[in-house]
Amino acid sequence: MSEQKFTVLPKHVAVIMDGNGRWAKKRGLPRTDGHIEGAKTFRRIGEYAGNIGVRHITFYAFSTENWSRPEAEIKGIMHLFYDYLEEAFDRLDENREKGIRLRFLGDRSRIDRELAGMMDRIEAVTADCSKVNLNIALNYGGQQEILSAVRSIAADVQNGTLLPEDISLQSIENRLFTAGQPPVDLMIRPSGEQRISNFLLWQSAYAEFWYSDVLWPDFTERDFDEALAAFEKRNRRFGGI
C-alpha cells in the first residue's frame, strides 16, 4: 500500500502485539500458528513504521509472565526469535543501509545461551545505525525494569559514588533498557484489550493510548496509519493547560 504522510509523527511508538492465540483459536489452529502469523505482521509493521519516519518503535514480544504458558507454546515462540535473528543476519547489509538499529529489552538470564548470543551480536553489528531504533521486548516486565534501576542506584549510594540528594529522574532513566531513547508518545494495543500489561511503565508516563479490536495477525499498515492519524489529533498538554 502507499505510504501516508503525517504532519506530526510520534518519536517513539510502542506496540503490544496481542491476539495471536485468539486468532488461531478462531480458525481452529494451534496457538503456535497464531504466533507465526503475528511474527509476519511484526516484520511488516516494523518496516513500514521505519519507512514513514518513525524513529523509535518498541514491540512487546514476550513478557516475564509469559513463561507460565504451555512449554510447547514457549518453545514455538523462541524458535520464531531464532528465525527472526537468522533472517536479520542474512539481511544485515540491507538493514544497515536502511539505518536500522536492533535492540532487545529485558532480562536475558533466562534466555537460551545461543539465542542470547545472537541477540548480543545483532545489537553489536547494528550499534552504529541511527535512522530507526527497533526494540524488541523479550522476557520484559516494566516493574522488573524499574526495580533493576532502583537496585543499581542503591548500589551506587552504598559504595559512595552517588549521594541520595543527587538521585534524579534522569538517574533512573539512565538505567532503563531504553536509556538514550525518547519516552513513548503513542502506545498501540490491538485485540480489544485495554490495559498496559506491565509494558514500558516509566517510559509511557505521558503516552497517548490507541486501542483496536483487530487481532494482531490481522493488523495492517492501514490500522497503523489510523493510530497515527488519531495521534495527530490529540492535544498533548503534559499536565498544563
Q: Distance between CA atoms of 216 and 218, rounded to whole angstroms?
A: 5
Radius of gyration of the chain (CA): 18
For residue 69, the tally of other CB atoms under 10 A from its CB is 14
Q: What is the dihedral of CA 60, 96, 177, 54, to 10 degrees?
A: -60
CA within 13 Å, CB half, 91 = 15
Q: Distance between CA atoms of 115 and 125, rounded to whole angstroms?
A: 16
Selected catalytic residue, list 20, 33, 51, 66: 66
Q: Distance between CA atoms of 106 and 65, rounded to whole angstroms?
A: 12
Selected catalytic residue, list 18, 33, 185, 223: 18
Location of C-alpha cell 524499574? 146
Asked about 133 being catalytic, the answer comes back as: no
Asked about 18 being catalytic, the answer comes back as: yes
Q: Please spell the DSSP secondary structure of 120-179, one letter per residue.
A: HHHHHHTTT--SEEEEEEEEE-HHHHHHHHHHHHHHHHHTTSS-GGG--HHHHHTTSTTT
Which residues are annotated as catalytic?
18, 66
